[in-house]
Amino acid sequence: MNKGLSPIVASVILIATTMAIAGILSFWAGSFVEKKVEESENTTTDIVCLNARFNLFTKCQYNSQTKEISFILENQANQDIILDSLYVFYPSNNLKSYKLSIKLPANNLLPFNQTGIDPGFISFQLRTKCPNVYRDFNCTEVS
């Protein structure tokens, strides 16, 4: 009477176990690498945003006839900044937002105009793609 596994059955079990372990490791390694790449991209964005600074070079002016604000922006950093959105605050916690995609070149000035601004606003906020880089400002009406 033979006891034990035949060499063929043992080989099949060994190969199946090896393939199962390889599949599990492959799945884990794929998600691990994907997570690390995402963290690396976030770190790169954080480094770029760390030095991002911009300001209003001129005072904001509002033309009630054309419903337009205008001013000049100054990028005070060595890298381009992407302006992402403009928020207009009105009384009673009303808010109007404008989606932007404007490149403010490094160490440069850029004229900024936005039309469609209804009168009665309280203040403005100009945001960039960097989460903590924004400017709050007010506008004066011109005739």
Residue 20 zone, left/alpha/beta (φ > 0; ψ -120 to 50; rest): alpha
Q: For residue 44, what pLDDT is reported?
A: 56
Q: What is the mean pLDDT of residues 32-46?
A: 68
Average pLDDT over all residues of the chain:
88
Give the pLDDT band of residue 42 (cuts 50, 70, 90): low
DSSP labels, 56-95:
ESS-EEEETTTTEEEEEEEE-SSS-EEEEEEEEEETTTEE
6 pLDDT exceeds 90? no
Q: For residue 11, what pLDDT is reported?
A: 86
Q: For residue 7, what pLDDT is reported?
A: 81
Q: What is the mean pLDDT of residues 70-98?
A: 94
39 pLDDT exceeds 80? no
Q: What is the mean pLDDT of residues 85-110?
A: 95
Q: Which H/E stretch holds residue 111?
A: strand 109-115
122 pLDDT exceeds 80? yes
Q: What is the mean pLDDT of residues 24-49?
A: 74
Smallest CA-to-CA distance from 100 within 128, 62, 66 is with: 128
* Alpha carbons 60 and 105: distance in angstroms, whole number: 20
